[in-house]
Chain A
Amino acid sequence: MTALAERTEYTMEQTRESTARTRVWNVLRLQFANRLNMLAVPWLILIFVFLVNYAIWAIIATASNSTASLEGTEYSGSTFWLFAYLMIAAIQAITLTFPFALGMSVTRRDYYLGTALAFALQSVAFTAAYVILSYIEDWTNGWGLGGHMFTAIYFGQGPIWQRIFTVLSTFLISFAVGLFSATVFVRWKANGLMVAGASFTTVLIAAGALITLTHNWMSVWAWFGSMTSTGVVAWLLAPAAALVVAGFYILRRATPRN
């Protein structure tokens, strides 16, 4: 065969074997490429929720001419929406990028590790921002109106280590639930999610029934009361870790079937 132009054959032997680190890093990059959902939108939600809160505080303060009437806002749980959104965003991120990653010849293992790592990094970033905002809230005395959004009682108050721990754990737990739900969805689709949701609800009901039948509600409330939010969150970390591990094994047999 004659060919005057260069004939270069790219063989398997020639392909430099990429390390696991590079491959996982590439998945991480993929998760962050143009992911408005994951990066920009949570902040938009945060700003929106904050503005709503601020408006409410302003109205109340002006109407009653004192900030004392804002007593009780420290029970605002409006940042809940941030965590809820991140859980959903995690599910979205995976359902959208998993088939694409498979199409880019990525293994499920590398995909899971890269994605989990991406979520962990985001948790750290969001935690930093959240904690900083909580301090600003302190220093401005509730944004000048005595409002509490980032320093809700049971969450976001206290010494710095506590704030970081509680907030970071909550982010991680939200992502863990999102990650797990996403793998269930990718593997078993909507039916799978329903079954998982139904199972979870059943377990809760069963637990509730058990407590009722053994007349233990008092001790349960007492226990919750004695725990700070830090404690509750710490307890939830173990199940969250279990979810993350479970998700890995669930994804291993998932296929990109439409």
Chain B
Amino acid sequence: MIEEGKPIFVQIAEQIENDIIDGHLAEETQVPSTNEFALFHRINPATAGKGVNLLVDDGILYKRRGIGMFVASGAREQLIAKRTTAFQQEYLRPLLNEARKLGIGIDQLTNMIHEEAVTA
């Protein structure tokens, strides 16, 4: 759940993002309240609020007065685009570093990727 490492509010934001990308949180549906996040993860409500506000600032969530926080339209595409860009740095770069370390060439790497894609 909440690990040591990234700031807690970032982890909250990322969990919500994951839920949106997964489809667990559809667009224009309501997101749990800050207090609910706080209680569930056993963290300070202010921290949970910070995570939610991150997403509000990014335009992923928006507030409906008197009701609560909702997933914005287009949030999913927005997130996927963002994650795709990050994918290269977060996943590909370490992958290539490790491959280089082990002496795995690009061709061999491509073959391995194809293999995995078939069996996955």
A7: min CB distance to chain B, Å: 8
> Whole-angstrom distance between the alpha carbons of A5 and B38 in the complex?
14
**A7 to B, closest residue via Cβ:** B35
A6: min CB distance to chain B, Å: 11
Bitwise interface map of B from 24 to 67 toward A, beta carbon under 8 Å scored 1, else 0: 00000000011100000000010001001000000000010001
The reply to whether the CB of B68 lies closer than 8 angstroms to some CB of chain A is yes
B contact residues around A1 at 8 Å (CB): 34, 45, 49, 52
Bitwise interface map of A from 1 to 26 toward B, beta carbon under 8 Å scored 1, else 0: 11111000000000000000000000
How many A-B residue pairs have C-beta atoms within 8 angstroms? Tell me.
18
> Whole-angstrom distance between the alpha carbons of A158 and B45 in the complex?
74
A66: min CB distance to chain B, Å: 85
> Whole-angstrom distance between the alpha carbons of A5 and B35 in the complex?
9
B contact residues around A3 at 8 Å (CB): 33-35
Bitwise interface map of A from 204 to 233 toward B, beta carbon under 8 Å scored 1, else 0: 000000000000000000000000000000
A251: min CB distance to chain B, Å: 40
**A5 to B, closest residue via Cβ:** B35
A contact residues around B63 at 8 Å (CB): 2
Interface of A toward B, CB cutoff 8 Å: 1-5
Can you report 17 A-B residue pairs in the complex whose CB atoms are below 8 A from each other? Answer: A1-B34, A1-B45, A1-B49, A1-B52, A2-B33, A2-B34, A2-B63, A2-B68, A2-B69, A3-B33, A3-B34, A3-B35, A4-B33, A4-B67, A4-B68, A5-B33, A5-B35
Interface of B toward A, CB cutoff 8 Å: 33-35, 45, 49, 52, 63, 67-69
Q: A1-B34, A2-B34 are in contact. List 10 more A-B contacts (CB 8 A).
A: A1-B45, A1-B49, A2-B33, A2-B69, A3-B33, A3-B34, A4-B33, A4-B68, A5-B33, A5-B35
Q: Which 7 pairs from chain A and chain B are nearest by CB?
A: A1-B49, A2-B68, A1-B34, A2-B33, A2-B69, A3-B35, A3-B33
